[in-house]
Structure 1
Amino acid sequence: MRAVTYLDSRDGAWREGVGTVVDGQVRVHDEPPAPDMPRLEGVLTGGFTDAHVHLQLVDHTQLSGSPLARVVDLGGNPDTLARLAAAARARARAGHNSGVLTPTPTSAAETTPIREHSPELCPPADVEVVFAGAFFTPPGGYPSDRAWAPEGAVREVADAADAARAVAEMKASGAAVIKIAGNSTAGPVFTDDLFRVLVAQAAAHGLPVVAHAEGRGEAQRAVRLGATRLAHAPFSERLTDAEIAAQATSAVWISTLAIHTGEAYAIAVDNVRRFHAAGGTVRYGTDMGNGPTPVGLNPRELDALREAGIDGRELLRTLDPAPGAPWYLTAGDAIDPLDARPLTPIDLEA
């Protein structure tokens, strides 16, 4: 039994608690530790979240054993993703996941595409799969012409009636979020009116909207029309301070900084730096599958977030730890998520 400092997965707050071992499993209790209780130096979190991945473009079996406990797929075949998510839940219920970081009340590499119907569709046992299903785009819009888009990963939406059908389809598949594509540099984008219809239909089904916003003005437009998340921190242009302030109160940005180079990278990092300083919420996301990205935590993305002024405990909060088995990080001058490892009973021996 030891006093511990942990990041509460329920609300992202740092708290003091007590770590114990129950039936061979480590647990964190949300009770004040006694003043004389031995302390575990360092901090605890749940496994981390990558808020932007494409599981059909990577060998996702490599996620097993990584510090990622949850991934959010933002564009793929909804039937395939539904099978992956359901299989992951079934394996968790069967006991492949153990331990919880959500406090127990004291009262109680490079990517390899997967093949459809292959054994590789079996998800890692320790990763929760959340998904959006297909990209929504107008006829001929991005990414309908991209060779990397898996079959069924793009849903072209022609009008308001079709928008209602499309959202209902994704909801029925098990989607937890709706993905709207708005890339004015690569084809048509939705009109304001049809974008609003999609947002309204998503809200009627209890689904938030995340937008791929690319091209001048698209990030501001997507949020103005009701998207509450941007799939990429804005990289097409440097937002003004006033635009940054407005975004900070209206939307969450998923970072995906490391996919960029050159001017786009500099713009995205500068935007994130000012957005974070203005109180905006940034979530770690890599666009895993966009090029030869690592499967697991991406060191380049972590370095880019640090360059944008997000480090230490703030960086851990950006990684949005999930409920689940506790992970342990030593706490020195710098906290490195790449050093996270599962907490063990030995760690809690007094």
Structure 2
Amino acid sequence: MNAATFFDGEEWRDGTIEMIDGRMLLRAGSPASDLRLSDLPRLDGVIVGGFTDHHVHLQLVDHALLHDSTLGRVIDLGGNPAAVAALTEGAARFVSVAFAGAFLTPVGGYPSDRDWAPAGSFREIADTAAATAAVAEMADAGASCIKVANNSTAGPVFSDFLFRAIVEAAASRGLPVVAHAEGEGGAQRAARLGAARLAHAPFTERLDDAEVTAQAASISWISTLAVHEGDTHATAVDNVRRFHAAGGIVLYGTDMGNGPMPVGLNPAELAALRDAGLDGIDLLRALAPQNPLDPAALLLRLPGTDADPTLARPLTSADLKA
């Protein structure tokens, strides 16, 4: 048994770590004995749970590569629900997987005309009956959220009435709506119509400070900064910097599968988040590590509380001191 410092998702805490029946077991607080933490050998570095990527597309990557990553959880935001559910069963050996199922989009809307969109990865919605049926289909398939396309640069977008109908149908099944907001005014519109999360930090335009403050109070952003270049990248980073400063919730996400990028933790995304002012414990919160007290969580070891998350590696029995 070793004393250890670990991150519980909000702050650093002390506890004990030991190998029991071939599994690492972390417990909070002092050992259940007369021993004190100060009496135990201390694990060098700190422990966190496996990191979360809040925006991936498992059908577009070799998900088996996640086995060697420090991701403990991924959220698929747009794919064939049956195919992703099947991938979930296989990937579950490596990571915890949640998914939105298919994009819900207007007839002819994004990404219905994209070559990269796998068969069954979108549903074209013409009316409230179709919206209710599509939400029910995704919920029954096991979705943890609903993905809505609001991309005015690539085709039609939902009317306010139909967007709200999807939000209401999702809420009736206990599911939040994650919106792909692209095009002038798209981010503001998605927030106004009830989306709980933006799949991408706003990148089409620079939001003014009042808009950023309003968003910080009502909606969270998934970063996906590293998929952009040039002025678009600068706009997204600037928006995130002010959103974070206003108290908004920023979540690490990469849009994994959107072009060549690591199947695992993405150093370029972490660097962009640092440029936007997230570092230290703020960066760890954006990475939303798994609860390390959960016996099923992937446990990672970091060299220190201010260390770069890219230096994290799986914790093994060899790390424990006799």
Q: Secondary structure at the match of 2:55?
A: strand
Stretches of structure 2 that go unaligned for 5 or more consecutive residues are 31-35, 292-296
Q: Give 2:118's aligned residue.
A: 150
Given candidates 140, 148, 152, the residue that maps to 1:180 is 148
- TM-score normalised to structure 2 length: 0.93
The one of 10, 20, 29 equivalent to 1:31 is 29
Is residue 316 of structure 2 the alignment partner of residue 348 of structure 1?
A: no
Moved over 3 A (4+): 35-38
Partner Cα distance (2:264, 2:237) in 1? 22
Q: Which amino acid letter does the alignment assign opposite residue 304 of structure 2?
A: A
Aligned residue number for residue 42 of structure 1: 45
- Structure 2 residue 298 is the aligned partner of structure 1 residue 325: yes
Structure 2 residue aligned with 1:93: none
Please say if residues 42 and 321 of structure 2, whose CA atoms lie closer than 8 Å, have aligned partners that are also in contact: no
Distance in 1, Cα, partners of 2:127 & 2:101: 19
Which amino acid in 2 is paired with 1:43? V
| 1:335 matches 2:307 | yes
Q: 2:61 aligns with which of 38, 58, 61?
A: 58
Structure 1 runs not aligned, ≥5 long: 89-122
- Amino acid paired to 2:194: G
The Cα shift of 1:2 comes to 2.4
Q: Show CA shifts across 1:289-343 (max 9, x none).
A: 11112111111111111111111222122111124031100017x4111111111
The one-letter code matched in structure 2 to 1:72 is I
Identity of aligned residues (%): 62
Cα drift, residue 124 of structure 1: 6.2
Structural mapping, 1:9-158, within 5 Å: 9=9, 12-32=10-30, 34-85=37-88, 87-88=89-90, 123=91, 125-158=93-126
Aligned-residue Cα RMSD (Å) equals 1.5
Q: Distance in 2 between matches of 1:2 and 1:318?
A: 28
For residues 191 and 318 of structure 1, the distance between their equivalents in structure 2, rounded to whole angstroms, comes to 32
Q: CA deviation at 1:36?
A: 4.2
Equivalents in 2 of 1:163, 1:124: separation in Å?
A: 30
TM-superposed deviation, 1:45: 0.8
Q: Distance in 2 between matches of 1:346 and 1:78?
A: 40
State the alpha-carbon separation in 2 of the partners of residues 271 and 71 from structure 1.
Answer: 24
CA distance in 2, matches of 1:293, 1:181: 23
Mapped partners of 2:45, 2:239: distance in 1: 31
Name the CA distance, whole Å, in 1 between partners of 2:298 and 2:159: 45
What amino acid maps onto 1:52 in structure 2?
Answer: H
CA distance in 2, matches of 1:21, 1:60: 29
Q: Partners in 1 of 2:161 and 2:12 — Cα distance?
A: 42
Please report how far the alpha carbon of residue 83 of structure 1 lies from its aligned counterpart in structure 2 after TM superposition.
1.4
In structure 2, the CA distance between the partners of 1:349 and 1:41, relative to structure 1 (3 Å rule), is: closer
The answer to whether 1:313 aligns with 2:286 is no
For residues 25 and 52 of structure 2, what CA distance do their matches in structure 1 show? 20
- Residue 260 of structure 2: which of 292, 302, 310 is its match? 292
Residue 193 of structure 1 deviates from its aligned partner by 0.9
CA distance in 2, matches of 1:164, 1:325: 37
| Equivalent residue, structure 1, for 2:33 | none
What amino acid does structure 2 have at the position aligned with 1:49?
A: T
SS in 2 for 1:250: coil
Q: 2:191 aligns with which of 199, 223, 227?
A: 223
* Structure 2 match to 1:100: none
